[in-house]
Amino acid sequence: MTIRTGLLCVALMAAGAARAEDFTTIPPPALDQLQTANTTETVVLAGGCFWGVQGVFQHVKGVTSAVSGYAGGAPATASYDRVSDGDTGHAEAVQVTYDPKQISLGRLLQIYFSVAHDPTQLNKQGPDHGTQYRSAIFPANDSQAGIARAYIVQLNLAHVYKAPVATKIEPGKVFYAAESYHQDYLTLHPTDGYIAYSDIPKVRELARRYPALYRPEPVLVGSGDLPQN
């Protein structure tokens, strides 16, 4: 995995880079989740380093938990050291648990596609390269998969990006929680060079673009709250 230090931030700024992300305004999904009696649903989203993706969704109203982890590969290789090799099939991912009465899957995907990462990048985000950084949605059921697929088609037909959406839908995959030191990383290390340059702008953009959905205080992963694999 790419070394994430203050040196990265200094080097990029010295090169004249203005910001880590070029944020794109996108329409809401035409097909969205139907109202249900459920108070808890879960979807797993991958879009580069999980630190930033987790940090964004921890600031979204209606999200009750956002846990960094791995999805797409076997349980034996669901560890940071192995996933970093790029040959496990895993992606760095975030398990987002939310209340569909407060926020729909479609609205979460709108944030995912417009703020959390660049969905046109294939197997990379910013300085990070490899299949473990791919853009992927791991749906919990057929309904989620259908909404995600329809939204990707909608965005491509609308030509809101300069390139096609590279996000893949990968159903039937198990999520494995990452090591505890990866949890709440953005909140715990806001001055880290990688976080300051690549991820803090995403949270700021969330607040600017979706003020009604933004919560100033993040919902954090408490000790003992990690899902058991």
pTM: 0.90
Cβ count within 10 A of residue 222: 10
Whether 19 has a pLDDT exceeding 60, the answer reads: no
- Structural domains in the chain, CATH included, are 6-29+36-213 (3.30.1060.10)
Do 48 and 136 touch, CB atoms closer than 8 A? no
Q: Residues 179-207: what's their mean pLDDT?
A: 96
Lowest mean pLDDT among 6-10, 118-122, 133-137: 6-10
Closest to 126 measured CA to CA, from 201, 209, 59, 67: 201
Q: What is the pLDDT of residue 65?
A: 97
Structure tokens at 42: 């879960």
Q: Residues 178-194: what's their mean pLDDT?
A: 96
Query: What per-residue string of b and e applies to 80-118 under the rule 16 or more CB within 10 Å gives b?
Result: eebbeeeebbbbbbbbbbbebeebbbbbbbbbbbbbbbb
Task: Report the half-sphere exposure of 139 (CA within 13 A, side-chain side).
Answer: 18
Q: DSSP assignment of 118-164, as one string?
A: -TT-SSEETTEESGGG-EEEE-SSHHHHHHHHHHHHHHHHHT-SSS-
Q: Residues 2-31: what's their mean pLDDT?
A: 57
Q: What is the pLDDT of residue 86?
A: 96
Active-site annotation, residues: 49
| Residues 6+ positions from 13 with CB-CB distance below 8 Å | 197
